[in-house]
A and B are shown apart, each in its own frame.
Chain A
Amino acid sequence: MRIHFKTSYDDDIRLFEDGWKLSLYAALLALMVALPWLIDDFYLGEATNVLIWATCGLGLMLLTGQTGQASLGHSAFMALGCYTTVLLMEAGVPFVLSFPLAGVLTGIVGGLIAIPALKLHGVYLAIATLALAILTDDLIVMLEPWTGGVGGKFAPPITIFGLEVNRWSSPAAWYYMALVVVLVVTLFYRNLLRAPMGRAFAAVRDSEISAQAMGVNLARTKTIAFGMSAGITGLGGALMGLFAEVFNNETFTFILSIQLLMMIVVGGLGFIHGAFLGAIVISFLPQALSIVTDGIGSNVAIPGLEIGVFGVIMILFILFEPMGLYGRWLKIRTFFQLFPFARKDMFRRQKSYLKTERLR
């Protein structure tokens, strides 16, 4: 076990705890960069998919994991980000400009939506955002002149400084594009967490009352969290739509936002690693299932199998490992680090007795 002897306040908020951590992440980055040479095009596409899901997951994680607000409406922001990017591109704005612009726009819209929505708490917020997701689905159909309605839209070709990025002819370029987006988002996220705003997010999550007592402006903090979360998810949604090449209202149903929420819970709420682990699970689950059903020898596709299995996984996680995959890893790591001294109770969650929200 390494012991950190802290000699300055900076030690608490460094991006990387020590050289060992830094080299670990550097190695991971090197592996990610080298990936196109290591695996074939099919798996590269899957890896890109994981990165896209991770981007969306990071967006929701910021809201649910860091600020403690459950949203079932993030598919709306994914749709908004996607349609904005494509509409801007069709209007002649180059991709490198329209993509971040769409993120910013989605963030602003998210922030605006948050102002009334955040008067609501817990369950009410979840329901309001769910209604938002369903409304978006219907709005896409109704705004057919812009969105193409049920018929959907084809993603225009992406060119970045003259280099064409196409899923089929240049999968490596697509992969690198997604990788860059994820890296930027992750760095932003990580830096946000050590800035005053990120601390305020965590304070709001842990206790709104004590956060208020420490001088955190609740409404402002939540609005910013919602906006940033919406923006990041919008970027992820844009990537998802462009990667799918054809998208319509069905691409962004409210089921997507539920999947997103479940994904970050499986990965581990409140951890950046959790978003990535959850993304890996959600991307490879369909493949794993089809391999299993092929192995059994049944060629009959069972409708809804994927979502059913996902539900079971979800319940098992909530019951037995509420901290998700990353939490499990933390427990295993702590066990070995402290070897004979690790105790079961170290990760026990404090139970609280419920009081009604109706008497505030």
Chain B
Amino acid sequence: MEVLQLLISGMANGCVYGLVALGFVLIYKATEAVNFAQGDFMMLGAFVTLGLVNPEFMGIPFWLALPLVFVIMGVFGYLLDLVVLRAVFGQNQVAVIILTIALGFILRFSAGLIWGHEPMSLHSPLALGDVRLGDLVLGMADVAIIITTFLLTLALWQFFQRTKIGLAMQAASQNQMAAYYMGIPVKRVQGMVWALAGIVAAVAGILYASKGAIDPNAGFIGIKAFAAAVIGGFGSLPGALLGGLIVGIIEPFAARYLPAGWSQIAPYALLIAVLLFRPHGLFAQVRVKKV
């Protein structure tokens, strides 16, 4: 019973990691850049929702605010790409890494200025309390998180595999020049990916905030999401979710069965182990080009 309990809470955590990792993977898949600020995007999404929904701020009903949040975060992502990231288009990847890290700092700082540094909780309809099944205590928020995440991953996966624009995104990443020749508006496609990543981050943020309090430093879970994305193989959407689940599940088990301190290093130790033995993750997307 205890194992099952740990498993479910681990899965719910893992789904949030997985969703943030999904944001990394989306952007990586389509622009070959890594958004080190994705965790802070998530934090921002949660705070925007909080600002709209919570009675002490605007007090809009949750389901009404939801589309608004998606629009705000989508526009935010698109504008960010338009104003900041397009300027480093065609430059070294290191530039993008540093740029997004700096963006994360700024987001954290601004969120602290606007909403303060105290942890706040979101008035979310997902925080329904617990359901008891025999010895098992199920948080409804946990269940909602797991279901939402699976549906979203499936939808995004299909989006990349089947729709025209999803394929255009993949093409733009694999070879920008060739994509231009094929008539794909590469820059606009990249902007759309950033918008999409903003929306996914908003979903992750809302789910994260439904589980507990949120503060400007919540974005640091982005680092665990990194581990998740790399373990799953950067560039694979189901891989990101799987990686998130692995990281999420390892944590509570390491905390329960291993000496103190191990649960904190377990995700990173696993990350390094994966990088050593399968450098491109469990769902490797790297194929050596035959010359």
Contacts and interface: CB of A to CB of B under 8 A. Distances in A.
Interface of A: 64, 68, 70, 116-117, 119-120, 122-124, 126-128, 130-132, 134-135, 138-139, 141-142, 258, 261-262, 265, 269, 302-305, 307-308, 310-312, 314-315, 318-319, 322, 349, 351-360
The residue in A126, A262, A304, A351 that gathers the most chain B C-beta atoms within 10 A of its C-beta is: A304
A229 B208 CA distance: 39
A313 B84 CA distance: 13
B269 A355 contact: no
Contacts of B216: 304
A314 B102 contact: yes
B70 interface: no
A311 B105 contact: yes
Q: Looking at B106, B113, B227, B289, which has the most chain A CB atoms within 10 Å of its CB?
A: B106
A185 to B, nearest CB: 23
B152 interface: no
Contact of B101 (A64, A258, A303): A258
Given A303-B112, A358-B235, A360-B286, A353 B98 contact: no
Interface string B203-221: 0000000000000100000
A123 B32 CA distance: 9
Interface stretch (B51-59, B156-164, B173-181): B173-181
Given A122-B93, A315-B102, 8 more contacts: A123-B93, A130-B226, A304-B112, A311-B102, A319-B87, A354-B90, A355-B177, A358-B287
B184 interface: no
B241 interface: no
A302 B114 CA distance: 12
A152 to B, nearest CB: 17
B103 A138 contact: no
B271 A123 contact: no
B105 A131 contact: no
B276 interface: yes
Contacts of A351: 89-91
Interface of B: 28, 31-32, 34, 84, 87-91, 93-95, 97-99, 101-106, 108-110, 112-113, 117, 173-177, 216, 223, 226-227, 230, 234-235, 261, 264-265, 268-269, 271-272, 275-276, 279-280, 285-289
Contacts of B276: 116
Given A126-B97, A258-B101, A308-B106, A303 B272 contact: no
Nearest to A349: B91
A128 B84 contact: no
A142 B276 CA distance: 23
Given A124-B279, A126-B97, A319-B88, A308 B105 contact: yes
A210 B173 CA distance: 24
Contacts of A120: 275, 279
A11 B227 CA distance: 49
A359 B286 contact: yes
